[in-house]
Amino acid sequence: MSSSPKTFLVCHGAWSAGWAWRKMHPLMNEAGHRLLTPTYTGLGERAHLAHPAIDLDTHITDMLQVIKYEDLRDFVLVGHSYGGMVATGVADRARDNVKQLIYIDAFVPADGQSLLDFLPESEQNRMRDLARSGDGWRVPPNPTPPDTSPEDVAWLNERRVHTPLKCFETKLKLERGPLTLPRSYIYATRTPPLNVFGQFSKMTKSDPAWRHFEVDASHSPNVTAPEALMALLEKISA
């Protein structure tokens, strides 16, 4: 058992959902913590609710509703990948409830920034073209990193679903100014050729308001390196 039990609330990535955190639940239970991994509207087991108007604000609201109905206080908020966009909005609206914020290889937006703002123009166009060539409003999943086991690739591919383009286009609105709560960044060092998250690693490394950590894993350590991720989350939240 670790020193004190904590509650972790995860804002998951695009194309993903709560199910992708399956390997983390037994590790959290064993350490005496509570792990909540709700799924956003239109993804995972809620894919049947998908529609073109779903955007970043929908997903921020999803998480705020979980905080309200689960009566969460003094918890650790975790944002993975696109979930960094969601977690930033959630931390802004629920400042009195969030104890600290941990980004895992995630986007760290300021007020008025969208996810697409952090991507090169070629990548923005690629995502928009993919949506256009499909049903017009959804982007299919990016490929899984090369170090993902064949079993995990099969597990992921069977469950990942297209994500509404508006989620990536919506500009984050911070209602209460810049965040001041304790923040940490976990950078996954097995980077793909288009190293999108390097910019956030660099930014958080040089900012004294942040704690910076690295994990020897590719983009989804909750899938490929759960024990290493667990050790880091314990260390950071202690």
Mean pLDDT across the chain? 97
Q: Is 218 a catalytic residue?
A: no
**Domain 7-237: which topology?**
Rossmann fold (3.40.50)
pTM recorded for the entire structure: 0.97
- Domain parsing of the chain, residue ranges: 7-237
Residue 72 has a pLDDT of 98
Q: What residues contact residue 97 under an 8 Å CB cut-off, 6+ apart? A: 67, 72, 73, 74, 75
- The single residue of 16, 81, 201, 237 carrying the catalytic annotation is 81
> What number is the average pLDDT over the span 131-158?
96
